[in-house]
Amino acid sequence: MEKLFSHLDALYGEIVDIRRHLHKHPELSFEEVETAKYITEYHRKLGHEVKEKVGGNGVVATLKGDLKGPTVALRADFDALPITEENDFDFKSVNEGVMHACGHDGHTATLLGAAKALNKLKSELKGNIVFIHQHAEELPPGGAKAMIEDGCLDGVDVIFGTHLQAQVPLHEIQYRTDALQASADRFEITIQGKGGHGAVPEETKDSILIASQVVTNLQQIVSRRVSPLDAAVISVCSFDARGPYNVIADTAHLIGTSRALNEEVRTKIEEEIEQVVKGTSLLSHASYEYKYTRGYPVTVNHKEEAEFVMEIAKDVPGVEEIKITEPFMGAEDYSYYLQKVKGTYFFTGARPRGATDAYPHHHPKFDIDEEALLIAAKILSKSAVEYINRHS
C-alpha cells in the first residue's frame, strides 16, 4: 500500500483545494447542480465511466480495473445546509445563507482524491471501484434511497463510507459493528380546541393547555413504555399557538422528532404517540390531527465488514487510536445502502488542532482539521484495494 499512500500524500494539496472550493460554493439539498457538474468533470478527466443525475443530482463514477474481480463502492455526500457562515477564512461561503456546516465538502474532496490516487493503480486493480457521490443527505427523503432505486448499487458487492467528526480528536477513528446511528422520523400534532376570551376560560377548550399536557405526556413513552435497555428519543421542537394576549387559542400545533436504534422501538413510538395524543385530547373534549413521517432508518453496520475496515485503519499513517463508540442518535441515510449490500460506516476524527471543544456540526462556525481528509482517503482507498485483493 506504500504506492497508494504515496499517491495520496502527493495529492494532499489538491484535496485541500477541492474542499475549500466546495466550501466556498455550497448548495442546498436537491439544489446541488454546480457541485454535481464539478464532480462529474473531475471524474471524466480521470477517464472514469460517469452517470449523472442519478436519483436526482447524484453522480456515480466507476473505475474499472484491468483485471476482473469484485466491485467495491465508496460513498460521499455533497449537499450543504441553510446556515449563514460566521467563519472569516478566505474560503468562507459566498452563497448567502448557505454553508457546508457538516463536513460534506470534506467528504467529497476525500473521495475525489481517493479516486485520483486509485486511478493510478488501475493496471493492478483486480476489480472495480464505484464512487457514489450522493446529493441531499441533509433533507429527508434524502438522496440515497432515490439513487439506489436508480441503480447506484447494481453489481456492488460491498460499500464503505465515513463521516468527518469535528468533535472527535484528529487521528482517532470511531466505529461500531452494529447500530451506529438512529432512525429519524418527524411527527406533527394539531390540537383543535375551542377558542375564546381569556377572562372566561370555562367557555373554551384551551388548546395551549391541552397541547402542553401532550408534550409532558409524550415523555412517558420513553420513560414508561420503552424498555430502559432500548435507546429512544421523543423531542417536541416547535409549539405554535400564537394569538392576542387576551384570547385563548383555538388551535395549537406541535412538530417534533423521534429517534430509535431498532425498528421495533421505532414502530412502537409511532403508535404510542398517537395513543397519548388521542387520550389527552379525549380527556379535554378536544379533537386532534396526527401525522407521522418516516425519515431515515437505523444505520446498522455489518460486523465482518466493520472489523475488516478497522483492521485496515490500524496500519494507516495518521491513525493513532481506534475506538468503539456509543451509538449516536443523529441519523444518516447511508442506512439505506447498508440495507441493500454489506458494508460499514465509521467516524474519522477531524477536531481542529488546538481546539478542546470544537464547534458542533450544523453550527455557523463549524470547521474541521483538513489533515482528516488525507486520513479518511487513505482508509477508504486501502479498504477498497485490500477487499478486492482478498475476494478476487
**163 labelled ligand-binding:** yes
Nearest to 174 by CA among 383, 379, 386, 387: 379
Residues 6+ apart with CB under 8 A from 180: 299, 300, 301, 325, 327, 328, 345, 346
> Does 362 belong to an annotated binding site?
yes
CA distances from 309 to 62, 129, 201, 236, 336 (A): 21, 16, 63, 38, 19
Give dist(CA 362, CA 307) in Å, integer: 30
Name the one residue in this structure whose C-alpha cell is 472569516.
Answer: 88
Write down the H helix ranges in the chain: 2-24, 33-46, 104-119, 144-149, 207-220, 263-283, 303-313, 335-340, 371-391
Nearest to 274 by CA among 262, 288, 285: 288
Question: 104 labelled as ligand-binding?
Answer: yes
Number of CB atoms found within 10 A of residue 84's CB: 12
The catalytic residue positions are 79, 137
Sign of CA dihedral 259, 299, 113, 314: positive
DSSP-derived pairing of the beta strands 58-64 and 287-296: unpaired
C-alpha cell recorded at residue 73:
463502492
Who contacts 313 (Cβ-Cβ below 8 Å, separation ≥6)?
A: 173, 319, 322, 346, 379, 383
Q: Pairing relation of β-strands 58-64 and 49-54?
A: antiparallel
Q: Give the separation between CA 185 and CA 266, rounded to whole angstroms.
A: 9
Per the annotation, binding residues are 102, 104, 138, 163, 362
Per the annotation, binding residues for Mn(2+) are 102, 104, 138, 163, 362
